[in-house]
Amino acid sequence: MKINIAFDVYGTLIDTQGVVNLLLNLVEEKAQLFSETWRAKQLEYSFRRGLMKQYVKFSVCTKDALNYTCAALKVALSDSQKQQLLDSYLCLPAFDDIQTALPQLAEKYRLVAFSNGEAQSVNTLLKNAGVLEYFSDVISADEISTFKPNPEIYQHLLNRVNSSAEQSWLVSSNAFDVIGAKSFGMKAAWVKRSEGTVFDPWGIEPNVVINRLDSLIQHLDKKN
């Protein structure tokens, strides 16, 4: 039986900071701060919604976080400009290492995309990146109306791939996702996309730490 590898999408395969170029035209020198604040609030809102059991789709969290960011940074954007930014989330750029990493991994492992985002959005992103063919399935938190790192979403993943935690890996750049999977009994690889990123000091460590996905197969071959 093939080992299953579940890939987080936003921030792991797809660069959420790819929206900065568009923001430069809209908010100029505030572009980087705007992008970082928007992403941080997007995640925060998903966490809060999950804890409150007041689920809305991830795209709604994204829209609410955009409105917050505009208010917090005192940026006046028109409805059409806001929609332009929201639409950009369907065509964010992929990290350059996935084009070489995924074909190699797909030869030996079963790959699935595993995201808080709606399946249609994830499919669009992976198709635009030219890598959708390497995934046997796209699994969304939306299917059970919750968000990572709720343990229920990791169980949903295992149900969908019809496998055990011991036979499944999570690959994510998000520390909360890695910790969630590890707490559930899965193995996990943390993709440290930025040198300055710090892993949460919770006493729960990833099995593997990498900077680029194209080095993942070497580590997995040693671990499995």
Residue numbers annotated as active site: 8
The phi and psi torsions of 169 (rounded to 5 degrees) equal -115, 145
Alpha-carbon gap, residue 57 to 45, rounded angstroms: 11
SS (H, E, C) 171-208: EECCHHHHHHHHHCCCEEEEECCCCCCCCCCCCCCCCE
Contacts of 187 (CB under 8 A, 6+ apart): 166, 168, 169, 170, 181, 207, 223
Reduced DSSP (H G I as helix, E B as strand, rest coil) percent helix, strand, coil of the chain, to 5: 55, 15, 30
